[in-house]
Amino acid sequence: MHLEKREQLMFDGESGEAARQSMEILVALGKIYGAQKMIPITSAQVAGVSYKTIGDAGLEYLQDLAAKGAKTIVPTFLNPAGMDIAQWKEMRIPADFAKKQIEILDAYSKMGIMKTCTCAPYLIGIRPKKGEHIAWAESSAISFANSVLGARTNREGGPSALAAAICGVTPYYGLHVEENRTARLLVDLQCSVSTISDFSALGCVIGEIAKDRYPAFTGIKTPTEEQLKVLGASMAATGSVPLYFVQGVTPEWKVADDAEKITITEAELKTTKMKLDTVHHVPSGHKFPGSSGTEYGTRDSRPQLVTLGCPHASLNEIKLVADMVSKRKPNCEFWVCTSRKLKEESDALGYTKTIQSAGGRVVADTCMVVCPLEQMGYSVTGTNSGKAAKYLPSLCKQKVAFGDIEDILYR
């Protein structure tokens, strides 16, 4: 593998131990994937921020790296942490968890990393341009950056994204290489998709079918960024899909001549939604009349907590919830998860206050999956996100009430 002079000096330890260790990780990764060289990156997004996901071993690794003088040399920001840094007591986060979480954030801070703590950096102005090489680590952010923005990133792990941030380069392979960005699964949508739960269900179905192929969609008309972010997040959750195309929408559209063609119908989306809603057993072929008129959901399936904002909510989404709950108070506690920056905007616009008055909370820096929900007395959680629905049972020991916002807030 060819290294430029600066990269070789790092590899040889001339730029300090932290840079040497980081370049060693990148070279090893490059060798595994057959990269011939490194490519400079313009930004990095580091995952592995929640104490829940990295534990004491991760904290020690970060503190050790910081003590060795690690410094990032490109703009670098963080994935959600395990708690809202300002509201952790009100959220009933255990104090020992909070202490460790603060230590993790301090270690990252010492390395010069911005405490953005969001999986949707593109909603707070961090929007790499088409063709820009980056090293991002959170699966939904990777999908959005590659697909909607046309930037180039592989699916980085926490340590490799951090190493790239410290060295300013990443191995040139995979999705950094133009020829590899080709769809081999052509999805023709035979039904309309309009709500977030529709896009979630579609993403979950296609993620399972894709199997290492990048999907290209026809039949999705003028989707919003919110719909695209949840589509990508759901495909990433069920199939680790890092790139997709939507005809006439995404900046790239390249489909292999021999791509497999499939169609998706409304019936498949309905079945997927019922499967995601794990609070009650749905016998095969049966449909339940729901309290809000949907074909899934029963009065026994009420969530204790409804969590919205997976991926992190945009200001539009926060406003939508505020408008809805100002007219009718929900039947349960609820959170809208977002970035610190957008929470501050929500505070200034009065949305946060409206949501609080209706029994909810705008939660920053964290999300329903990476906070210790299972230690906070919840066992049934509502979501409209395919990704959250996929992870809440395994990572948070939750039963899931899945559906559109109205359905889950007012069951």
The binding site for ligand F3S (CB under 6 A) comprises: 79-80, 119, 138, 140, 233, 310-312, 337, 367, 369-370, 387-388, 391
Nearer to ligand F3S, 80 or 215 (CB): 80
Shortest CA distance to 75 belongs to which of 39, 125, 28?
125
Could you tell me the smallest distance in angstroms from the CB atom of residue 171 to ligand F3S? 25
The rounded distance, in Å, linking the Cα atoms of 137 and 119 is: 9
Could you tell me the smallest distance in angstroms from the CB atom of residue 123 to ligand F3S? 11
Nearer to ligand F3S, 51 or 173 (CB): 51
Nearer to ligand F3S, 367 or 380 (CB): 367
The rounded distance, in Å, linking the Cα atoms of 356 and 400 is: 23
Could you tell me the smallest distance in angstroms from the CB atom of residue 306 to ligand F3S? 14
Could you tell me the smallest distance in angstroms from the CB atom of residue 383 to ligand F3S? 9
Nearer to ligand F3S, 111 or 392 (CB): 392
Could you tell me the smallest distance in angstroms from the CB atom of residue 294 to ligand F3S? 23
Nearer to ligand F3S, 140 or 170 (CB): 140
Nearer to ligand F3S, 337 or 342 (CB): 337
User: Which secondary-structure segment (H or E) carries 237?
Assistant: helix 225-239
Could you tell me the smallest distance in angstroms from the CB atom of residue 368 to ligand F3S? 7
Could you tell me the smallest distance in angstroms from the CB atom of residue 391 to ligand F3S? 6
Are 376 and 167 in contact by the 8 Å Cβ rule? The answer is: no
CA dist 334 → 164, 299, 307, 315 (Å):
37, 18, 6, 17
- For residue 63, the 8-state DSSP code is H
Strand partners, 337: 363
The structure tokens listed for 202 are 């579609």
Burial of 348 by CB count in 10 Å (0-12 exposed, 13-18 middle, 19+ buried)? exposed
The rounded distance, in Å, linking the Cα atoms of 248 and 9 is: 45
Could you tell me the smallest distance in angstroms from the CB atom of residue 40 to ligand F3S? 27
Nearer to ligand F3S, 387 or 411 (CB): 387
Are 372 and 101 in contact by the 8 Å Cβ rule? The answer is: no
Q: Which amino acid is at 224?
A: T
Shortest CA distance to 152 belongs to which of 179, 134, 170?
134
Tokens 């999300």 locate to 367
Could you tell me the smallest distance in angstroms from the CB atom of residue 345 to ligand F3S? 18
Could you tell me the smallest distance in angstroms from the CB atom of residue 83 to ligand F3S? 13
Nearer to ligand F3S, 168 or 386 (CB): 386
Q: 222: number of CA atoms within 13 Å, CB side? A: 0
Nearer to ligand F3S, 46 or 369 (CB): 369
- For residue 177, the 8-state DSSP code is S
Strand partners, 142: none
Are 135 and 164 in contact by the 8 Å Cβ rule? The answer is: yes
The structure tokens listed for 156 are 């980085």
Nearer to ligand F3S, 47 or 74 (CB): 47
- Helices 266-276 and 196-210 cross at an angle (nearest 10°) of 90
DSSP string for residues in 380-406: EEEES-HHHHHHHHHHH--EEEES-HH
The rounded distance, in Å, linking the Cα atoms of 401 and 315 is: 24
